[in-house]
Amino acid sequence: MELVQEHPVWKLGRLNHVAIAVPDLEKSRNFYKNVMGAESVSEAVPQPEHGVYTVFVSLGNTKIELLGEYGDNSPIKNFLEKNKTGGIHHVCIEVDNVSSAVQDLTKRGIRSLDPKPKIGAHGKPVVFLHPKDCGGVLLELEQA
């Protein structure tokens, strides 16, 4: 039996970044800049509405996002308690219409962590999809 997929009202795009939660943001920033030789490593930017500091490492075809805790209620706090040295936190993929994607995926039984998109670190709407519905991966969808 072949599964027929409906044509979605949104389109999956390119990989935007892989996010790594780190216990020491400056140490990780220096690693990518001074040890690995990345040409473009941003300064740490507070994202209070998301409870993290972000540093972006440009790799030409994509980015690595380094995440550090911001505040006592940081969403990466539990992750870092379980993973003392840090690790991959989420994968971000661009979509052409994040609102349509959320509506369509909800109908298909995929839960989002927030009912509506929020503005992310790049100033664009983003939504996170529940890892239990996505093969164990926390997926971030970002408006292209």
Cβ density class 17-50: b for 16+ within 10 Å, e for less: bbbbbbeebeebbebbbeeeebeebbebeebeeb
pTM for this prediction: 0.91
Q: List the domain boundaries for the chain.
A: 12-143
**Residue 70 pLDDT class (50, 70, 90 cuts):** very high
Pick the CATH number of 12-143 from 3.40.50.300, 3.10.180.10, 3.40.710.10, 1.10.15.40: 3.10.180.10
| C-alpha distance across the termini of the chain, in Å | 35
**Residue 2 pLDDT class (50, 70, 90 cuts):** low
% of the chain with per-residue pLDDT over 70? 95
Report pLDDT for 6. 61
pLDDT for residue 5 is more than 70: no
Tens of pLDDT, residues 81-110 = 999 999 999 999 999 999 999 999 999 999
Report pLDDT for 7. 60
